[in-house]
Structure 1
Amino acid sequence: MRRITLLATMFTVLASSTMVSAARATNAQLSQAPDLMVDSLFAAWDRPGMPGAVVEVIRAGKVVLSKGYGYADLEHNVPMTPSASFAIGSNSKQFTALSIYLLAQDGKLALDDDIRKYVPEVPDFGKAITIRQLLHHTSGLRDYFELMFLKGAGTDAVITQEDVLALVKRQRALNFAPGHEYAYSNTGYLLLGQIIQRVSGMPLAEFARVRIFDPLGMKHTQFQNGCGTLVPQRVLSYLPSGAGGYDNAAVCEAADGAGGVVTTAGDLALWDRNFYDGRVGGIDLLAQMQVPGKLGNGQSNNYASALVIDAYRGRRIVKHGGDIRGFHTQLTRFPDQHFSVVVLANSSDLDKDELVRKIADIYLDHVAPAAPAAPMSPERRFREVAFDPAGLDALVGYYALPPQSGVEGVHFTKENGYLWAQGTGQARIRVFAYGERSFFAKAINAQFTFDAPGKDGVVAGGVLHQGGVDMPVNRPGFRGGRLV
């Protein structure tokens, strides 16, 4: 009996010792410096021949991490540095929105003004469209990327402000009555840029420099309206190629307001700080920018003024992303924790949204996340299979995304026997079958699974897989495979 007791005690001690050792190992992993854990997330990109990213972590107003991974220019072997300049796509909308609020604060316009007061070229659709509705993407105006595609423009077409205004003039109807629905519209933000110019007497680029960038010390930030401007330490963008490498994806933005800003992670940290100290605009005005829009039925839309109001792990977040060609950028703020993450990437196979979440996990929850697998070109992760072109007809159409996605939807078209996809405000890209109803993109890390067709052969919806999230989509007007 004594021997059994001794053995039991020994096993208990051994078990306790094992648990302590495991706990020590876990604690050692978690006690690893946060910047080293972030390094592990980007290790797959931080090597020769790879595009990469700049990461900035801001806590209590101080930059606690600022690093570059991979290469800014693959042809000239230029490593990525924290001072690299990126085109940030739709993240530019935040500066357009603040410019409008500053003019309202100056008493030069009101958010509920009819936009035709300032841009009479917009047709009279029978009901006024307000500036506020442009800010919240509830105007009903069709997105100019979609309109340009319908004109036959390619994914690399240079779109000018004159092009967009000409398209707007020719519109005879809206997607819906102003204020009644949400639909992401780059057209709306370009028109906001026009309003800023006509009310202030300065181009948007000049107004933003004088009223926002210079006062905040954002010396490396500018709106570009064309392709000829020299930008120190400019980063090039890349898309995965079929050969397992990368192709250059040139970016030229000639229509500011919806996009057009080139900036650095350091300057975005200064912009982030403004939401806490209110140096430009004041705290009350910046709070107004973060009030979500409301739809005609009284429900709130999580899109405020160029800021998405959301939550992650029970914490309130304020965020916006920007994607243009190979550039994928994200600024996410946790206002209650006074914590923000900036990720600026120059390749579409780097999942900025997932990486922002993992960085937040490291700093806010002390979680040591597993490093993501090394990036692989989509055609190596998904094997393309033959697909009868006749079967594509049932898939063609517009599929709406839920409002919290921040994007209106995806438009699928068939051309020369191939299926093409275009997210609202995005370039049109070809997608490839890898299953009976599943397709993947090579240009970005995204997949789409269509629902099985109904008895009438109509496909009523599907699921978009992107950024580690599965988002259900539906074809407006269809339910259960039938038109309703």
Structure 2
Amino acid sequence: MKRIALLAAFLTTTAAAAQSAPSPERQIDALFATWNQPGKPGAVVGVIRDGKVLFTKRYGMADIERGVPMSPSAKFFIGSMSKQFTAFAIHLLAHDGKLSLDDDIHMYLPDVPDFGRKITIRHLLQHTSGLRDYFDLMAMAGLRPGDVIEEDKALALIRRQRTLNFEPGQEWDYSNTGYVLLARIVEHVSGKPFPEFARERIFVPLGMTHTLFQQDYRTLVPGRVLSYVPADTGGYRFAPVNISMAGDGGVLTTMGDLALWDRNFYDGRVGGMDVVRQMQVTGVLNDGKPIEYAAGLFVHAYRGLRLVEHSGMAGGYGNQLWRFPDQHLSVMVFANTSDIDTDLTVRRIADMVLDRVPGAAPASPSAPATTFKEIRLDPARLDALVGFYATSPQSGITFTKENGRLMALGMGFPKMPAFPYSERDFFARMTDSRFSFDPPGPDGIVAGGILHWGEQDIPATRTARPIPSAAELKRVEGDFYSDELHVLYSITGKDGDLVLTYPGGTVTLGFNGERDYATGFGTIKYQCSADGCTGFTMSTDRARNVQFTRVALASPSR
């Protein structure tokens, strides 16, 4: 209660508070009211000013199965927020004179391909190296939900890459690969395992006794908060984070320990203020264009004030730490369920405080977030909706009924469930899209509908589905191999669709000729000529143009 009073005092003494406004505690409670009840996961929030915790509160459950409520000492897996600790370790070694940020990484990591280009430690720190993201590469190679992400497998993938996304320093593109390699550089230079170096040089000196880099997901961590995601059938399901590596992520910590870390940015107790300043120096691209990323931290402006921040997400965990260094003010939100929008909640809590801070610009008005809640619908009502709906002469959506649920397959997109939020309106959780069916006619037939795609409303007409010819399918069918991933994709025609089979399972792609196909883990772009299609590239934003080549597999001998 004392901390709540401190926050209330700050908000009421820095400006005249409106008498009719709810208390700060009630405003924050309202943000998490949905989850602050039995049987639901939740969050821990905190507001810090001048090194003092003004406010901290917890909501929901840390462990639903065992009925363990959230507590102030709860340990969260903070995902990519861990990158600032990896970057700090590098800066400590640079301050010690053990390395330079402009060193070629091959001085320390000779087994990383050189690609014919110099990649520096600074490139890794600032996400300008051009290295493909290993998470995306693993997904392309067939990573399944529940598979363990191990360091040796990630490093093996990195070593097999033959090209970069772009020339080092040419672009900014977030890459987890860079921070995996930074942790290996710390090990090479210090002669110690990376988690041990972080514990000895950062966590112990700061008194962060509840913080660790977890390099094996099986390690027992007392007080660990479990991770959840909403279940399609209602309620929640457990979402394990099976990651056995550290550098790009891997930290488990508490709100109290992160408050100690936050204070170090003002007193430089560990590393000194020069290292603290270097951590917040943002990068510059080859063409002189500045970027907003420094060393494991974004540095930009919010409401006219300097903001240093980073988020972290993994499984159902969502984490935010916003620091306004000139005001000595920080806001933290840690959640253990993916349906809490931590970016929105940290922003609203920050706005609540910044409204009373001299010099802060007014908050920009924002439209309330639109959320769609699934309703129960009699499966018999879905029969009238099944069919093909053309959105253009070349594309459309096929709706099928499977196990009492409506499924949607767009041409070039993976099949996904469509969730009803009214009798004729459905939304997809995997994409920013909705579909509204027309009312049925006198004959009971639904003649069309509207695809809401982002900000577009695209009319769709129910019609007979175009079926590709055998010759059309033959051009794009076949077996395709990537030696960078060591993986084989088999693409075959089935019932007028293309079906991709790979180590991760089977994906129905639809059919759209030789145009791009989205798979859910990358986009296929065929390479074709008049003689046929010899291969394709698979791309994501963070792993571009991974080459697949058509191969002829030997028939099994009889």
TM-score, shorter chain, exceeding 0.5: yes
Aligned position for 2:473: none
Is 1:269 the counterpart of 2:259? The answer is: yes
Aligned position for 1:219: 209
CA distance in 1 between counterparts of 2:188 and 2:329 reads 37
1:29 alignment partner AA: S
1:207 alignment partner AA: F
Which of 103, 107, 110 does residue 120 from structure 1 map onto? 110
SS in 2 for 1:29: coil
Can you give the 5+ residue segments of structure 1 that lack an aligned partner in the other structure? 1-24, 396-411, 420-428, 440-447, 460-472, 478-484
Is 1:164 the counterpart of 2:146? The answer is: no
Which of 19, 30, 42 does residue 28 from structure 1 map onto? 19
CA distance in 1 between counterparts of 2:110 and 2:456 reads 42
Aligned 8 A contact 2:75 2:224 in 1? yes
Which of 324, 329, 334 does residue 344 from structure 1 map onto? 334
2:434 alignment partner AA: Y
CA distance in 2 between counterparts of 1:361 and 1:279 reads 29
The within-5 A match list for 1:369-448 is 379=374, 417-418=415-416, 430-431=430-431, 433-435=433-435, 436-438=450-452
Aligned position for 1:49: 39
CA distance in 1 between counterparts of 2:26 and 2:302 reads 23
The within-5 A match list for 1:194-343 is 194-343=184-333
Q: Relative to 1, partners in 2 of residues 1:340 and 1:139: Cα closer, same or farther, differing over 3 Å?
A: same
1:358 alignment partner AA: R
Q: Relative to 1, partners in 2 of residues 1:241 and 1:449: Cα closer, same or farther, differing over 3 Å?
A: farther
**262-271 or 152-161: bigger deviation:** 152-161
Q: Number of matched residues?
A: 404
Is 1:64 the counterpart of 2:51? The answer is: no
Q: Look at both structures and tell me which one has the larger radius of gyration over its CA atoms.
A: 2
Shift of 1:252: 2.1
Shift of 1:36: 3.1
The one-character-per-residue Cα deviations of 1:365-407 (angstroms, maximum 9, x if unpaired) are 159999x9999775459xx987859989979xxxxxxxxxxxx
CA distance in 1 between counterparts of 2:391 and 2:127 reads 34
Normalized per residue, which structure has more strand? 2
CA distance in 1 between counterparts of 2:370 and 2:458 reads 31
Shift of 1:41: 1.9
Which of 78, 92, 109 does residue 68 from structure 2 map onto? 78
Shift of 1:300: 0.6
CA distance in 1 between counterparts of 2:299 and 2:451 reads 33
CA distance in 2 between counterparts of 1:136 and 1:321 reads 15
CA distance in 2 between counterparts of 1:64 and 1:264 reads 16
The one-character-per-residue Cα deviations of 1:273-322 (angstroms, maximum 9, x if unpaired) are 00000111111211111111111110111011110112222221110000
Q: Relative to 1, partners in 2 of residues 1:69 and 1:277: Cα closer, same or farther, differing over 3 Å?
A: same
Q: Relative to 1, partners in 2 of residues 1:458 and 1:110: Cα closer, same or farther, differing over 3 Å?
A: same
Aligned 8 A contact 1:241 1:377 in 2? no
CA RMSD after TM alignment: 3.8
Q: Relative to 1, partners in 2 of residues 1:233 and 1:335: Cα closer, same or farther, differing over 3 Å?
A: same
1:140 alignment partner AA: G
Shift of 1:186: 0.3
Shift of 1:55: 0.5
Aligned position for 2:352: 362
Q: Structure 1-normalised TM-score? A: 0.75
Aligned 8 A contact 2:75 2:254 in 1? yes
SS in 2 for 1:27: coil
SS in 2 for 1:286: helix
Normalized per residue, which structure has more helix? 1
1:434 alignment partner AA: R
2:147 alignment partner AA: A
Q: Percent identity?
A: 53
Q: Relative to 1, partners in 2 of residues 1:147 and 1:316: Cα closer, same or farther, differing over 3 Å?
A: same
Q: Relative to 1, partners in 2 of residues 1:136 and 1:77: Cα closer, same or farther, differing over 3 Å?
A: same
The within-5 A match list for 1:68-107 is 68-107=58-97
Q: Relative to 1, partners in 2 of residues 1:476 and 1:62: Cα closer, same or farther, differing over 3 Å?
A: closer
SS in 2 for 1:302: coil
Shift of 1:251: 1.1
Which of 84, 94, 99 does residue 109 from structure 1 map onto? 99
Q: Relative to 1, partners in 2 of residues 1:145 and 1:388: Cα closer, same or farther, differing over 3 Å?
A: farther
2:349 alignment partner AA: I
CA distance in 2 between counterparts of 1:413 and 1:305 reads 41
Q: Relative to 1, partners in 2 of residues 1:452 and 1:202: Cα closer, same or farther, differing over 3 Å?
A: farther
Q: Relative to 1, partners in 2 of residues 1:452 and 1:166: Cα closer, same or farther, differing over 3 Å?
A: farther
Aligned position for 1:178: 168
Q: Which has the higher contact order (CA 8 A, sep 6+)?
A: 1
Aligned 8 A contact 1:278 1:286 in 2? yes
SS in 1 for 2:54: strand
SS in 1 for 2:164: coil
1:27 alignment partner AA: A
Aligned 8 A contact 2:40 2:60 in 1? yes
SS in 2 for 1:190: helix
